Amino acid sequence: MTETGPLRITRRVSFAASHRLFNPSFDDAANDRVFGQCNNPNGHGHNYVLEVTVAGSIDPETGMVVNLKDLKRVLADRVVTDCDHKHLNLDVPWLEGTIPTAENLAVAFWGRLAGAVAPARLDRVRVFESDDNMAEYTGGAADGDGGDA
């Protein structure tokens, strides 16, 4: 097979979690204005979908960029087990101090996964909070694992 450059593959997993969107430096009125119903003091839940895309060369011995079974395990070990059926503000230590918006979750999940998908490299993280809302992160210069393939 002729090498044509990096190939991308994507694994999708889902988990259920609750969260509360609020900024502790805001007063109650500002939190209500900015976050609306998502500022419910008891939180609210979502059925999240996490899509993780990795890129790399096809291994001529396996025909794979990375074994999807291994990628599934990394996603479970580094994100899903910690977040599934949890309150993201209260139960996930590595999210402490983070406003758990879809945007911030995408960046946090990237941080948990970057470097753990060898021999591939992390290419994109997408967090679907609902059918209508999704955040996508492709890394930054500080991540050292993003950018174009």
What lies within 8 Å, CB to CB, of 41 at 6+ separation is: 20
Has 83 been annotated as catalytic?
A: no
Which DSSP symbol is given to 77?
A: I
Q: Which of 38, 51, 103, 136 is catalytic?
A: 38
CA 138, 67, 71, 113 torsion-angle sign: negative
Please state, as a whole number, how many other Cβ atoms lie within 10 Å of the Cβ of residue 22.
21
| Catalytic option among 19, 46, 83, 129 | 129
Q: Which of 46, 83, 85, 103 is catalytic?
A: 85
Task: Assess whether 129 carries a catalytic annotation.
Answer: yes
Q: Is 38 a catalytic residue?
A: yes
Q: Show which residues are catalytic.
A: 38, 85, 129
